[in-house]
Amino acid sequence: MAASALSTHARAAITGWGTAVPEQRLTNADLEQRVDTTDEWIVERTGIRERRIVGDGETTASLAVEAGTAAIKQAGITPEDINLLIVATATPEQPIPHTGAFVSDGLGIHCGSFDLGAGCAGFLYGLVTGSALLTSGGLGHVLIIGAETLSRIANPKDRGTCILFGDGAAAVVLSPSTEDGPGLLTWDLGCDGSATGLLEVQAGGSRLPATAETIAAGQQFIKMQGQEVFKRAVRAVVESVKNALDRADLTTADVDWFIPHQANARIIEAAANRLGIPAERTVVNIDRYGNTSAASIPLAMAEAADCGKFKDGDIVLLSGFGAGMTWGSAVLRWGTP
Protein backbone atom coordinates (compact mmCIF):
# COMPACT_ATOMS: atom_id res chain seq x y z
CA MET A 1 0.00 0.00 0.00
CA ALA A 2 1.72 3.17 -1.21
CA ALA A 3 1.11 5.97 1.26
CA SER A 4 2.69 8.78 3.18
CA ALA A 5 2.02 11.97 5.08
CA LEU A 6 2.83 15.49 4.00
CA SER A 7 6.41 16.22 4.98
CA THR A 8 6.39 20.00 4.59
CA HIS A 9 5.89 22.33 7.52
CA ALA A 10 2.87 24.23 6.20
CA ARG A 11 -0.51 22.62 5.62
CA ALA A 12 -3.22 23.05 3.03
CA ALA A 13 -6.63 23.89 4.48
CA ILE A 14 -10.08 23.95 2.92
CA THR A 15 -11.21 27.57 2.81
CA GLY A 16 -14.15 27.34 0.41
CA TRP A 17 -16.55 24.78 -0.96
CA GLY A 18 -19.44 24.56 -3.40
CA THR A 19 -21.77 22.05 -5.05
CA ALA A 20 -23.76 21.62 -8.23
CA VAL A 21 -26.46 19.02 -8.85
CA PRO A 22 -28.92 18.78 -11.75
CA GLU A 23 -32.53 19.70 -11.13
CA GLN A 24 -33.85 16.49 -12.67
CA ARG A 25 -34.51 13.65 -10.21
CA LEU A 26 -34.66 9.95 -11.02
CA THR A 27 -36.59 8.23 -8.25
CA ASN A 28 -36.93 4.56 -7.45
CA ALA A 29 -40.53 4.80 -8.59
CA ASP A 30 -39.27 5.98 -11.99
CA LEU A 31 -36.91 3.01 -12.18
CA GLU A 32 -39.75 0.62 -11.38
CA GLN A 33 -41.24 1.62 -14.73
CA ARG A 34 -37.96 0.95 -16.55
CA VAL A 35 -36.47 -2.26 -15.13
CA ASP A 36 -37.53 -5.23 -13.00
CA THR A 37 -37.01 -3.71 -9.56
CA THR A 38 -38.86 -2.12 -6.67
CA ASP A 39 -38.34 0.81 -4.36
CA GLU A 40 -38.17 -1.56 -1.40
CA TRP A 41 -35.49 -3.71 -3.06
CA ILE A 42 -33.32 -0.71 -3.96
CA VAL A 43 -33.57 0.96 -0.55
CA GLU A 44 -32.89 -2.28 1.33
CA ARG A 45 -29.77 -3.12 -0.68
CA THR A 46 -28.33 0.33 -1.40
CA GLY A 47 -30.03 2.98 0.74
CA ILE A 48 -30.74 5.05 -2.39
CA ARG A 49 -34.16 6.66 -2.89
CA GLU A 50 -33.38 9.07 -5.73
CA ARG A 51 -30.50 10.42 -7.75
CA ARG A 52 -29.91 13.56 -9.86
CA ILE A 53 -29.61 13.19 -13.63
CA VAL A 54 -28.22 15.72 -16.11
CA GLY A 55 -30.50 17.10 -18.80
CA ASP A 56 -29.91 18.64 -22.20
CA GLY A 57 -26.98 21.04 -22.17
CA GLU A 58 -25.61 19.80 -18.85
CA THR A 59 -22.20 18.13 -18.87
CA THR A 60 -19.40 17.18 -16.52
CA ALA A 61 -17.69 20.49 -17.22
CA SER A 62 -20.82 22.60 -16.76
CA LEU A 63 -21.43 21.05 -13.35
CA ALA A 64 -17.77 21.53 -12.45
CA VAL A 65 -17.89 25.20 -13.42
CA GLU A 66 -20.96 25.78 -11.26
CA ALA A 67 -19.43 24.02 -8.26
CA GLY A 68 -16.07 25.75 -8.74
CA THR A 69 -17.69 29.17 -8.98
CA ALA A 70 -19.52 28.57 -5.71
CA ALA A 71 -16.36 27.39 -3.94
CA ILE A 72 -14.33 30.40 -5.10
CA LYS A 73 -17.07 32.78 -3.94
CA GLN A 74 -17.40 31.04 -0.60
CA ALA A 75 -13.62 31.32 -0.08
CA GLY A 76 -13.86 35.07 -0.58
CA ILE A 77 -11.43 35.15 -3.50
CA THR A 78 -11.67 35.69 -7.26
CA PRO A 79 -10.97 33.27 -10.14
CA GLU A 80 -7.72 35.12 -10.80
CA ASP A 81 -6.51 34.02 -7.35
CA ILE A 82 -6.57 30.33 -8.32
CA ASN A 83 -3.06 29.04 -9.11
CA LEU A 84 -3.92 25.43 -10.01
CA LEU A 85 -7.02 23.49 -11.04
CA ILE A 86 -7.46 19.73 -10.62
CA VAL A 87 -10.60 18.03 -11.95
CA ALA A 88 -11.24 14.51 -10.66
CA THR A 89 -13.62 12.61 -12.94
CA ALA A 90 -14.35 9.23 -14.49
CA THR A 91 -16.70 10.80 -17.04
CA PRO A 92 -14.63 13.43 -18.87
CA GLU A 93 -16.12 16.03 -21.16
CA GLN A 94 -14.46 14.33 -24.14
CA PRO A 95 -11.24 12.34 -24.75
CA ILE A 96 -9.27 15.39 -25.92
CA PRO A 97 -8.77 18.00 -24.52
CA HIS A 98 -8.97 17.33 -20.82
CA THR A 99 -12.05 18.42 -18.88
CA GLY A 100 -10.02 20.97 -16.92
CA ALA A 101 -9.53 22.99 -20.11
CA PHE A 102 -13.29 23.44 -20.47
CA VAL A 103 -13.65 24.20 -16.77
CA SER A 104 -10.83 26.75 -16.89
CA ASP A 105 -12.54 28.53 -19.75
CA GLY A 106 -15.87 28.49 -17.94
CA LEU A 107 -14.32 29.90 -14.78
CA GLY A 108 -12.20 32.45 -16.61
CA ILE A 109 -8.89 31.26 -15.20
CA HIS A 110 -5.58 30.63 -17.00
CA CYS A 111 -3.52 28.72 -14.46
CA GLY A 112 -2.27 25.16 -14.86
CA SER A 113 -4.94 22.48 -14.91
CA PHE A 114 -5.19 18.74 -15.32
CA ASP A 115 -7.64 15.89 -14.92
CA LEU A 116 -7.15 13.12 -12.41
CA GLY A 117 -8.67 9.68 -12.89
CA ALA A 118 -8.84 7.44 -9.84
CA GLY A 119 -12.48 6.38 -9.97
CA CYS A 120 -14.57 7.09 -6.91
CA ALA A 121 -11.40 7.82 -4.93
CA GLY A 122 -10.54 10.59 -7.39
CA PHE A 123 -11.34 13.51 -5.10
CA LEU A 124 -9.06 12.13 -2.39
CA TYR A 125 -6.24 11.72 -4.89
CA GLY A 126 -6.87 15.29 -6.04
CA LEU A 127 -6.92 16.57 -2.47
CA VAL A 128 -3.58 14.95 -1.65
CA THR A 129 -1.99 16.05 -4.93
CA GLY A 130 -3.28 19.61 -4.66
CA SER A 131 -2.17 19.88 -1.04
CA ALA A 132 1.33 18.65 -1.87
CA LEU A 133 1.71 21.06 -4.78
CA LEU A 134 0.37 23.96 -2.74
CA THR A 135 2.65 23.40 0.25
CA SER A 136 5.78 22.54 -1.73
CA GLY A 137 5.29 24.98 -4.59
CA GLY A 138 4.31 28.10 -2.74
CA LEU A 139 0.91 28.35 -4.41
CA GLY A 140 -1.75 30.69 -3.10
CA HIS A 141 -4.93 28.74 -3.83
CA VAL A 142 -5.70 25.39 -5.47
CA LEU A 143 -9.16 24.46 -6.75
CA ILE A 144 -10.10 20.76 -6.53
CA ILE A 145 -13.31 19.64 -8.26
CA GLY A 146 -14.96 16.24 -8.35
CA ALA A 147 -17.50 16.14 -11.18
CA GLU A 148 -19.42 13.28 -12.79
CA THR A 149 -22.19 12.51 -15.26
CA LEU A 150 -22.41 8.79 -14.61
CA SER A 151 -25.91 8.56 -16.04
CA ARG A 152 -24.26 8.90 -19.45
CA ILE A 153 -22.33 5.64 -19.01
CA ALA A 154 -24.91 3.65 -17.02
CA ASN A 155 -26.89 1.07 -18.99
CA PRO A 156 -30.54 2.08 -18.51
CA LYS A 157 -31.59 -1.57 -18.94
CA ASP A 158 -29.15 -3.04 -16.41
CA ARG A 159 -30.93 -3.09 -13.05
CA GLY A 160 -27.68 -3.94 -11.29
CA THR A 161 -26.06 -0.61 -12.17
CA CYS A 162 -28.67 1.89 -13.36
CA ILE A 163 -30.10 2.09 -9.84
CA LEU A 164 -26.77 3.09 -8.32
CA PHE A 165 -25.35 6.08 -10.14
CA GLY A 166 -26.19 9.77 -10.21
CA ASP A 167 -24.70 13.02 -11.47
CA GLY A 168 -23.24 15.97 -9.62
CA ALA A 169 -20.17 18.00 -8.75
CA ALA A 170 -18.51 19.53 -5.70
CA ALA A 171 -15.43 21.68 -5.29
CA VAL A 172 -13.07 22.89 -2.58
CA VAL A 173 -10.51 25.68 -2.45
CA LEU A 174 -7.23 24.84 -0.72
CA SER A 175 -5.23 27.65 0.86
CA PRO A 176 -2.01 27.75 2.91
CA SER A 177 -2.21 27.13 6.64
CA THR A 178 0.42 27.02 9.37
CA GLU A 179 2.34 24.02 10.64
CA ASP A 180 0.02 23.61 13.63
CA GLY A 181 -3.11 25.06 12.00
CA PRO A 182 -6.09 23.47 10.25
CA GLY A 183 -5.67 21.46 7.07
CA LEU A 184 -4.63 18.08 5.74
CA LEU A 185 -2.81 16.14 8.45
CA THR A 186 -2.11 12.73 6.91
CA TRP A 187 -3.26 10.52 4.08
CA ASP A 188 -3.19 7.01 2.69
CA LEU A 189 -3.55 5.99 -0.96
CA GLY A 190 -3.44 2.61 -2.66
CA CYS A 191 -4.44 0.53 -5.66
CA ASP A 192 -4.80 -3.19 -6.39
CA GLY A 193 -4.59 -3.36 -10.17
CA SER A 194 -5.39 -7.08 -10.21
CA ALA A 195 -9.02 -6.11 -9.58
CA THR A 196 -9.50 -3.90 -12.65
CA GLY A 197 -12.21 -6.18 -14.02
CA LEU A 198 -14.52 -5.74 -11.05
CA LEU A 199 -15.70 -2.28 -12.08
CA GLU A 200 -15.03 -1.08 -15.60
CA VAL A 201 -16.12 0.41 -18.90
CA GLN A 202 -14.51 -1.94 -21.40
CA ALA A 203 -14.73 -0.07 -24.71
CA GLY A 204 -13.65 3.38 -25.84
CA GLY A 205 -9.95 3.32 -24.96
CA SER A 206 -6.77 2.07 -26.62
CA ARG A 207 -7.29 -1.48 -25.37
CA LEU A 208 -10.70 -1.78 -27.05
CA PRO A 209 -11.56 1.16 -29.32
CA ALA A 210 -15.26 1.84 -29.79
CA THR A 211 -16.81 0.13 -32.81
CA ALA A 212 -20.28 -0.75 -33.98
CA GLU A 213 -19.70 -4.19 -32.48
CA THR A 214 -18.67 -2.92 -29.05
CA ILE A 215 -21.65 -0.59 -28.96
CA ALA A 216 -24.00 -3.41 -29.96
CA ALA A 217 -22.55 -5.44 -27.08
CA GLY A 218 -23.09 -2.58 -24.62
CA GLN A 219 -19.40 -2.32 -23.80
CA GLN A 220 -19.62 1.47 -23.59
CA PHE A 221 -21.56 1.06 -20.33
CA ILE A 222 -20.22 0.55 -16.83
CA LYS A 223 -20.13 -3.04 -15.58
CA MET A 224 -19.67 -4.14 -12.00
CA GLN A 225 -19.31 -7.32 -9.95
CA GLY A 226 -21.23 -5.96 -7.01
CA GLN A 227 -20.66 -8.58 -4.33
CA GLU A 228 -16.90 -8.71 -4.80
CA VAL A 229 -16.68 -4.92 -4.89
CA PHE A 230 -18.63 -4.82 -1.61
CA LYS A 231 -16.21 -7.16 0.17
CA ARG A 232 -13.08 -5.47 -1.12
CA ALA A 233 -14.45 -1.98 -0.44
CA VAL A 234 -15.12 -2.62 3.23
CA ARG A 235 -11.67 -4.15 3.75
CA ALA A 236 -9.94 -1.34 1.85
CA VAL A 237 -11.70 1.45 3.76
CA VAL A 238 -11.01 -0.08 7.16
CA GLU A 239 -7.31 -0.70 6.45
CA SER A 240 -6.77 2.66 4.76
CA VAL A 241 -8.47 4.60 7.57
CA LYS A 242 -6.36 2.87 10.19
CA ASN A 243 -3.18 3.66 8.27
CA ALA A 244 -4.06 7.34 7.90
CA LEU A 245 -5.07 7.72 11.55
CA ASP A 246 -1.93 5.92 12.76
CA ARG A 247 0.22 8.42 10.89
CA ALA A 248 -1.61 11.26 12.63
CA ASP A 249 -1.27 9.55 16.04
CA LEU A 250 -5.04 9.47 16.26
CA THR A 251 -7.68 6.79 16.73
CA THR A 252 -11.28 6.55 15.58
CA ALA A 253 -12.27 7.90 19.00
CA ASP A 254 -10.64 11.19 17.98
CA VAL A 255 -12.69 11.44 14.78
CA ASP A 256 -15.48 13.99 15.02
CA TRP A 257 -16.88 13.31 11.54
CA PHE A 258 -16.47 10.38 9.14
CA ILE A 259 -17.28 11.14 5.49
CA PRO A 260 -17.11 7.95 3.41
CA HIS A 261 -17.62 7.57 -0.32
CA GLN A 262 -21.36 7.28 -0.91
CA ALA A 263 -21.48 4.03 -2.88
CA ASN A 264 -23.82 1.88 -0.85
CA ALA A 265 -25.40 2.42 2.56
CA ARG A 266 -24.55 -1.13 3.61
CA ILE A 267 -20.86 -0.62 2.76
CA ILE A 268 -20.86 2.59 4.79
CA GLU A 269 -22.53 0.88 7.74
CA ALA A 270 -20.23 -2.14 7.62
CA ALA A 271 -17.07 -0.03 7.43
CA ALA A 272 -18.20 2.34 10.19
CA ASN A 273 -19.11 -0.57 12.45
CA ARG A 274 -15.72 -2.24 11.97
CA LEU A 275 -14.00 1.05 12.72
CA GLY A 276 -16.17 1.72 15.76
CA ILE A 277 -17.48 5.04 14.42
CA PRO A 278 -21.13 5.60 15.42
CA ALA A 279 -23.81 6.51 12.91
CA GLU A 280 -24.30 9.95 14.44
CA ARG A 281 -20.72 10.87 13.48
CA THR A 282 -21.00 9.47 9.95
CA VAL A 283 -22.15 11.77 7.13
CA VAL A 284 -24.53 10.04 4.71
CA ASN A 285 -26.45 11.54 1.78
CA ILE A 286 -26.58 8.56 -0.59
CA ASP A 287 -30.36 8.40 -0.25
CA ARG A 288 -30.69 11.66 -2.23
CA TYR A 289 -27.86 11.41 -4.76
CA GLY A 290 -26.81 7.80 -5.23
CA ASN A 291 -23.20 7.10 -6.16
CA THR A 292 -21.67 10.21 -7.74
CA SER A 293 -18.13 8.76 -7.88
CA ALA A 294 -15.47 11.50 -7.59
CA ALA A 295 -18.13 14.04 -6.57
CA SER A 296 -19.43 11.88 -3.73
CA ILE A 297 -17.12 12.77 -0.83
CA PRO A 298 -16.86 16.53 -1.49
CA LEU A 299 -20.63 16.73 -2.03
CA ALA A 300 -21.29 15.11 1.35
CA MET A 301 -18.61 17.24 3.01
CA ALA A 302 -19.90 20.50 1.54
CA GLU A 303 -23.47 19.76 2.57
CA ALA A 304 -22.36 18.96 6.12
CA ALA A 305 -20.32 22.17 6.26
CA ASP A 306 -23.26 24.21 4.98
CA CYS A 307 -25.42 22.70 7.73
CA GLY A 308 -22.92 23.87 10.34
CA LYS A 309 -21.92 20.38 11.47
CA PHE A 310 -18.19 21.13 11.62
CA LYS A 311 -16.55 23.22 14.33
CA ASP A 312 -13.05 24.69 14.21
CA GLY A 313 -10.61 22.04 15.32
CA ASP A 314 -12.84 19.09 14.43
CA ILE A 315 -11.07 16.02 13.04
CA VAL A 316 -12.73 15.12 9.75
CA LEU A 317 -11.95 11.73 8.22
CA LEU A 318 -12.52 11.12 4.49
CA SER A 319 -12.29 7.68 2.90
CA GLY A 320 -13.23 6.25 -0.47
CA PHE A 321 -12.65 3.43 -2.94
CA GLY A 322 -13.33 2.91 -6.61
CA ALA A 323 -12.49 1.27 -9.89
CA GLY A 324 -8.95 0.14 -10.23
CA MET A 325 -9.38 -0.90 -7.41
CA THR A 326 -8.19 2.37 -5.91
CA TRP A 327 -8.69 3.59 -2.38
CA GLY A 328 -7.71 6.50 -0.21
CA SER A 329 -8.21 8.19 3.14
CA ALA A 330 -7.40 11.67 4.42
CA VAL A 331 -7.39 13.14 7.90
CA LEU A 332 -8.23 16.84 8.15
CA ARG A 333 -8.34 19.33 10.96
CA TRP A 334 -11.24 21.63 10.13
CA GLY A 335 -11.02 25.39 10.41
CA THR A 336 -10.01 28.64 8.76
CA PRO A 337 -6.24 29.30 8.64
Verify whether residue 28 is a known catalytic residue.
no
Q: Which CATH superfamily is domain 184-333 in?
A: Thiolase/Chalcone synthase (3.40.47.10)
Q: How far apart are the C-alpha atoms of 41 and 250, rounded to whole Å?
A: 38
14, 62 contact by CB (below 8 A): no
Answer whether residue 304 shows pLDDT above 90.
yes
Average pLDDT over residues 108-126: 97
Verify whether residue 261 is a known catalytic residue.
yes
Q: pLDDT tens digits for 2-22?
A: 444 444 448 999 999 999 999
CB under 8 Å to 91, separation ≥6 — which residues? 60, 148, 149, 150, 152, 153, 293
Q: Which CATH superfamily is domain 11-180 in?
A: Thiolase/Chalcone synthase (3.40.47.10)
Among residues 28, 83, 120, 141, the one annotated as catalytic is: 120
Average pLDDT over residues 274-288: 98
Instruction: Of 2, 5, 1, 3, give the one whose Cα is nearest residue 186.
Output: 5
Quote the pLDDT of residue 94: 96
Among residues 83, 98, 162, 261, the one annotated as catalytic is: 261
Domain boundaries, the chain: 11-180, 184-333
Quote the pLDDT of residue 221: 97
Confidence band for 193, pLDDT divided at 50, 70 and 90: very high
Quote the pLDDT of residue 1: 39
pTM of the complete model: 0.95
11-180 and 184-333 agree in CATH topology:
yes
Q: pLDDT tens digits for 80-92?
A: 999 999 999 999 9
Instruction: Of 69, 52, 36, give the one whose Cα is nearest residue 287.
Output: 52
Report the SS3 class of residue 187: strand
Average pLDDT over residues 316-334: 97
Verify whether residue 162 is a known catalytic residue.
no
